[in-house]
Chain A
Amino acid sequence: MGSLRFPWLELGILLPLLGAFWTQRRRDPDVARRDGLIIAGLTLGCMVVAWIDFKLAVPPGARDLWSPIPRPSGGEFFAIDELSAPLPAMGALIYYLTILGTLRTKAGEFSISRTLLSESILLATFAAATPWGLVTMMAIGALPPYVELLRRRRPSRVYLAHMGLFVVFLMLGEYGVSRAASHAEQPLGPILLLTIATLLRSGVAPVHCWMTDLFEHATFGRALLFVTPMVGAYGVARLVLPIAPDWALEVISIMSLFTAVYAAGMALVQRESRRFFCYLFLSHSSLVLVGIETATSVGLTASLCLWLSASLSLTGFGLALRCVEARVGRSLMTEFHGLYEHIPMMAGLFLLSGLASIGFPGTAGFVGLELLVNAAAGAMPFVGMSIVVVAALNGLAIIQAYFRIFAGPPRATSIDLRIRPSERVAILIISALILAAGLYPQPGVSDRHQAADRILQARAGNASATAARSDAGTTMAPGQAGKLVERVAP
């Protein structure tokens, strides 16, 4: 293996950052959109290659010699391990598809520059090599939606209150954990703060209202990009899971399960499409948390599988809804919109991605949900049954939404509502991924299983030797698989 390796990861983070400045200078929104799409595509390419690069098992220290990012002594800024390896690629894909699905008529209102900036932040979050790096990037990541709310002169106090608390708790929690690293006992207070912070970011009830508020006031695309990569779940897996005691995990698990049931019920009574989507998403992201908190190999594998499948499928679902909104405006779920005759392909994507999110057989979510129900039932039978009920309720909500949007007398319109080529490409990509992951799930499941085992090993290591937290050295090269999840304080 050669020692000179190209720093794909860093390049993938840098590209959208530079792209943000580049597109900001473009006055024509259409040109900015085109440039943004190219940059997002290149970023996606870099992240996919970085993932492949990681899978080819690079030996420690043989990486990033060309890194353009200055490094602090004793460590790197960015690295990926088994858990995070596919996440930057998934994040880049979500951004690419969102820009691709943005109609030219909307390019002036959906800021491409801000989108690329938030992409860079998201990718840096998934690739952060140290706990403080992760905490910092998570905090910075909350800014772009806030800036958008301010620019659009929309109410921002609900978002600000929740995200302000999130940042404060996150910083204080991490500070407490890192300060107490030399003690044998795990510090309960800081762990609690970190837990609350990540639950806030995940939108677990009763601190979920910022998410519905964001969907109300931000652009659909921005809200979608902020929630679908599930940064909150990443925070839980990285910052909380390795050090939290079992009882704390059980509490989080029950809160997440309650959120999943509550949000599934709320999705059924919403009268407007964005709020419906928000609750549907909340229900699914909470199921991911339920799996993480089981802290068992199967449960964690299920959760990591479900994370990817739910992110992908709900991005597809959200993009389909966004395309509908771009044509007919924000739509009521209490009336029929009759769009099937105009955009049958979009109806297909809507149905496919919705069914994938509830774990319909043959789609990406099926195996994840099966594993999750198995694992949860093993831990607590009641939890397993509740997950089945959540999936059933979400299934009702999805079919109800499908009929409301696409059924009804064909909508009379003077403009052409048919699907555009870029939307067609986005649909084909998402559909292919959902079906490929559903029909041939073994490679993905094996990969996530490895990551789950690493996390559990790290958790077991931390539990048996908390003194290890005092060890210095935060370098997490790809070859050092599992190091990231050990959550060693600098």
Chain B
Amino acid sequence: MSPWVFDLLGLGTIGSPALLLTVFGLASLAPWPLSERAMARWTAACVSSGLISLSLILAIMWGTGLRHVVVEIGDWVSLPDQGFHFHLKFIFDPLSIPFAGLTFILTGVVGAFASRYLHREPGYRRFFQYFAVFLLGMVVAALAGTIETLFLGWELVGLSSALLVAFFHERAAPVFNAQRIWSVYRIADAAFMIAALALHRAAGAGDFAILAGSDAWPMGESPLTSTQALGVGLLLLIAAAGKSALLPFSGWLPRAMEGPTPSSAVFYGALSVHLGAYLLLRVSPILELSTLLCAAVVIIGLSSALFGAIAGRAQTDVKSALAFASLTQVGLITAEIGLGLRYIPLIHIIGHASLRTLQLLRSPSLLHDYHMLENAIGGRLRHEDRLARRWLSASLRRRLYRIGLNRGQLDQTIDRFIARPFTRCFQWCDRMERRWTDSLAGRRSRESDRVAPGSSLGEEP
């Protein structure tokens, strides 16, 4: 098979979401915005063309027996004399194709759902613009052949995620929650970037063919030493934990449900929440080098699953309960990765993403569904946690219920020990600066102190 066929189809897979984002971006600058119908059609067309391209690649690979196809775009930027290259490269292998396919299918379904669900909503266009950013980010991250390319997609997913949580930005709560999510994402991004840097230093490249071996996933072997793998792997684990809401970053996941239901479904039920697990799968040859690292992955995964199971039972709204249910499954998937399984977690991701998308999309009509069921059976549905009653004492159940209801006090702990001291430290610096400028000016030096809430000083009063 000629390589240009793969290049063409690969570009079709990546280019379709890029085209969608370009069209929506340009349309937002034009004085006449796209209509709802046009936006929905553009989304459907680009998702379909991307999925068709991917399916053709899969069919050809199946037919020819290939397990690993590389599509090289080339150097985005390079300084050859300094050995600096930012290489754009995409790989199609048994890991990336299912994940990219899942992305196209679920975004297509959710896009079609959202075009009706958000009909005549003031933020309809905004939703689809961010949705296009998300789609491009997910596809780039799924097919990335270098760690830099994966980071590129990773960042796009994070931004669109935070902006969509704040979709109903006329209310304060979604905005505060979006800010918190963005904060966790920035921590994860920083860890990812430092890990990428460390990988460059250790292996001399960010190419997965070098970092995780040139054999098709999951057969590759990493050239890193055990110590290097432990250091880099822990950083990647922090990045994955931030993105997938694993402990200790789990507090943001129920907050993310403030966004519109379609975005909650595709981000936190299906795709974005699995991106951390996907990253761990992609670098699995590195994980295999360190038993300690694998143990850390298993511990974080299992503890997150346990926490999700406890907290999920105490939630009083369906989306939060589903969020913690997602966390439980993602925790289990992470533990599976730590235990050395490769295809099982991938299948688990696909199954869980599909089920959770369906559940979240149905969640607005949950009460209606319950009424239908109750009418059908002629009585109330029974909810008894028999397992917990049988195995746990009443006091332990009460204690666990309190932990679940308070969501483990995770956010409060971060606020108390990180955010508040940080803010107080810089507020103290601000006061010291005020004293210094006041003494230099010989009077009150800050005009901005006179800006009262709701007042209007004007630029040149």
Q: Which residues of A pack against B, CB within 8 Å?
A: 106, 109-110, 152, 154-155, 157-158, 161, 209, 212-213, 216-217, 219-221, 262, 265-266, 268-272, 274-275, 297-298, 301, 322, 325-326, 328-332, 334-336, 338, 340-341, 344-345, 348, 355, 360-362, 367, 370-371, 373-374, 377, 384-385, 388-389, 391-393, 395-396, 399-400, 403, 406-410, 427-428, 431, 441-442, 445-446, 449
Q: Does B433 contact A (CB under 8 A)?
A: yes
| Of the residues B442, B447, B456, contact of A217 by C-beta under 8 Å | B447
A334 contact set on B, CB distance < 8 A: 453
Alpha-carbon distance A271/B423, docked complex (angstroms)? 12
Q: Does B411 contact A (CB under 8 A)?
A: no
Mask: chain B, 414-449; 1 = CB below 8 Å from A; 0 = not: 000000001101110110010011001111011110
Q: Does B393 contact A (CB under 8 A)?
A: no
Q: A371–B84 contact, CB under 8 A?
A: yes
A272 contact set on B, CB distance < 8 A: 448, 451
| Of the residues B159, B193, B433, contact of A355 by C-beta under 8 Å | B159
Q: A212–B155 contact, CB under 8 A?
A: no
Alpha-carbon distance A266/B423, docked complex (angstroms)? 9
Given contacts A268-B423, A269-B430, A384-B197, could you give 11 more A-B pairs where the C-beta distance is less than 8 Å? A217-B447, A219-B459, A268-B426, A336-B172, A362-B152, A371-B84, A388-B190, A391-B193, A403-B166, A406-B169, A428-B29
Alpha-carbon distance A340/B171, docked complex (angstroms)? 13
Q: A367–B433 contact, CB under 8 A?
A: no
Q: A212–B433 contact, CB under 8 A?
A: yes
Alpha-carbon distance A326/B461, docked complex (angstroms)? 11
Q: A220–B175 contact, CB under 8 A?
A: no
Q: B425–A265 contact, CB under 8 A?
A: yes
A338 contact set on B, CB distance < 8 A: 170
Q: B172–A155 contact, CB under 8 A?
A: no
Q: Does B151 contact A (CB under 8 A)?
A: yes
Nearest chain A residue, comparing its CB with the CB of B193 = A388
Nearest chain B residue, comparing its CB with the CB of A338 = B170
Q: What is the size category of the interface that chain B forms with chain A? A: 35 or more
Q: A345–B201 contact, CB under 8 A?
A: no
Mask: chain B, 164-186; 1 = CB below 8 Å from A; 0 = not: 00100110100100110011001
Q: B182–A395 contact, CB under 8 A?
A: yes
Q: A265–B422 contact, CB under 8 A?
A: yes
Alpha-carbon distance A340/B186, docked complex (angstroms)? 24
Q: B182–A361 contact, CB under 8 A?
A: no
- With contacts A158-B445, A269-B426, A301-B79 known, is A396 near B182, CB below 8 A? yes
Minimum C-beta distance from A226 to chain B (A):
16
Minimum C-beta distance from A261 to chain B (A):
10
Minimum C-beta distance from B347 to chain A (A):
31
Q: A395–B186 contact, CB under 8 A?
A: yes
Q: Does B200 contact A (CB under 8 A)?
A: yes
Q: B76–A298 contact, CB under 8 A?
A: no
B453 contact set on A, CB distance < 8 A: 332, 334-335
- With contacts A336-B172, A410-B170, A428-B29 known, is A212 near B437, CB below 8 A? yes
| Of the residues A158, A271, A329, A449, contact of B440 by C-beta under 8 Å | A158
Q: A109–B170 contact, CB under 8 A?
A: no
Q: A266–B197 contact, CB under 8 A?
A: no
Q: A329–B458 contact, CB under 8 A?
A: yes
Q: A326–B459 contact, CB under 8 A?
A: yes
User: Can you show 10 pairs from A to B with CB atoms below 8 A apart?
Assistant: A157-B442, A216-B445, A220-B459, A266-B429, A269-B427, A275-B448, A374-B84, A407-B175, A408-B169, A442-B75
B81 contact set on A, CB distance < 8 A: 297
Nearest chain B residue, comparing its CB with the CB of A266 = B426
Nearest chain A residue, comparing its CB with the CB of B152 = A361
Q: A431–B79 contact, CB under 8 A?
A: no
Q: B169–A392 contact, CB under 8 A?
A: no
Closest 8 CB pairs of A and B: A329-B456, A109-B460, A407-B169, A272-B448, A361-B152, A392-B186, A330-B457, A392-B190
Alpha-carbon distance A298/B162, docked complex (angstroms)? 33
Q: B78–A442 contact, CB under 8 A?
A: yes
Alpha-carbon distance A322/B458, docked complex (angstroms)? 10
Nearest chain B residue, comparing its CB with the CB of A351 = B163
Q: B187–A219 contact, CB under 8 A?
A: no
Alpha-carbon distance A445/B79, docked complex (angstroms)? 8
- With contacts A330-B451, A400-B179, A442-B78 known, is A265 near B159, CB below 8 A? no
Mask: chain B, 185-215; 1 = CB below 8 Å from A; 0 = not: 0110110011001001100000000000000
Q: A345–B29 contact, CB under 8 A?
A: yes
Minimum C-beta distance from A28 to chain B (A):
17
B152 contact set on A, CB distance < 8 A: 361-362
Alpha-carbon distance A455/B454, docked complex (angstroms)? 51
- With contacts A268-B423, A395-B182, A395-B186 known, is A106 near B169, CB below 8 A? no
- With contacts A329-B457, A334-B453 known, is A388 near B194, CB below 8 A? yes
Nearest chain B residue, comparing its CB with the CB of A366 = B152
A393 contact set on B, CB distance < 8 A: 186
Alpha-carbon distance A466/B113, docked complex (angstroms)? 72
Minimum C-beta distance from A429 to chain B (A):
11
Q: B422–A158 contact, CB under 8 A?
A: no
Minimum C-beta distance from B108 to chain A (A):
24
Minimum C-beta distance from B40 to chain A (A):
20
Q: B82–A298 contact, CB under 8 A?
A: yes
Alpha-carbon distance A325/B457, docked complex (angstroms)? 9
Nearest chain A residue, comparing its CB with the CB of B459 = A325
Q: A332–B451 contact, CB under 8 A?
A: yes
Nearest chain B residue, comparing its CB with the CB of A217 = B447
B448 contact set on A, CB distance < 8 A: 216, 271-272, 274-275, 330
Q: A209–B172 contact, CB under 8 A?
A: no
Nearest chain B residue, comparing its CB with the CB of A328 = B456
A345 contact set on B, CB distance < 8 A: 28-29
Q: B175–A396 contact, CB under 8 A?
A: no
Alpha-carbon distance A219/B76, docked complex (angstroms)? 40
Alpha-carbon distance A395/B180, docked complex (angstroms)? 12
Mask: chain B, 147-161; 1 = CB below 8 Å from A; 0 = not: 010011001100100
Alpha-carbon distance A361/B442, docked complex (angstroms)? 46
Alpha-carbon distance A344/B125, docked complex (angstroms)? 11
Alpha-carbon distance A322/B459, docked complex (angstroms)? 8
| Of the residues B77, B82, B459, contact of A442 by C-beta under 8 Å | B77
Nearest chain B residue, comparing its CB with the CB of A408 = B170
A331 contact set on B, CB distance < 8 A: 451
Alpha-carbon distance A10/B172, docked complex (angstroms)? 54
Alpha-carbon distance A209/B440, docked complex (angstroms)? 10
Alpha-carbon distance A109/B427, docked complex (angstroms)? 33
A335 contact set on B, CB distance < 8 A: 453-454
Q: Does B455 contact A (CB under 8 A)?
A: yes
Alpha-carbon distance A328/B459, docked complex (angstroms)? 9
Alpha-carbon distance A411/B433, docked complex (angstroms)? 33
B86 contact set on A, CB distance < 8 A: 367, 370
B194 contact set on A, CB distance < 8 A: 384-385, 388
Alpha-carbon distance A143/B82, docked complex (angstroms)? 42
Minimum C-beta distance from A321 to chain B (A):
10
Minimum C-beta distance from A5 to chain B (A):
32
A266 contact set on B, CB distance < 8 A: 426, 429-430
Mask: chain B, 287-327; 1 = CB below 8 Å from A; 0 = not: 00000000000000000000000000000000000000000
- With contacts A400-B179, A408-B169, A431-B29 known, is A157 near B451, CB below 8 A? no
Minimum C-beta distance from A456 to chain B (A):
12
Alpha-carbon distance A256/B82, docked complex (angstroms)? 25
Q: A396–B183 contact, CB under 8 A?
A: yes
B200 contact set on A, CB distance < 8 A: 374
Nearest chain B residue, comparing its CB with the CB of A404 = B175
| Of the residues A326, A332, A407, A446, contact of B166 by C-beta under 8 Å | A407
Alpha-carbon distance A86/B447, docked complex (angstroms)? 36
Minimum C-beta distance from B176 to chain A (A):
9
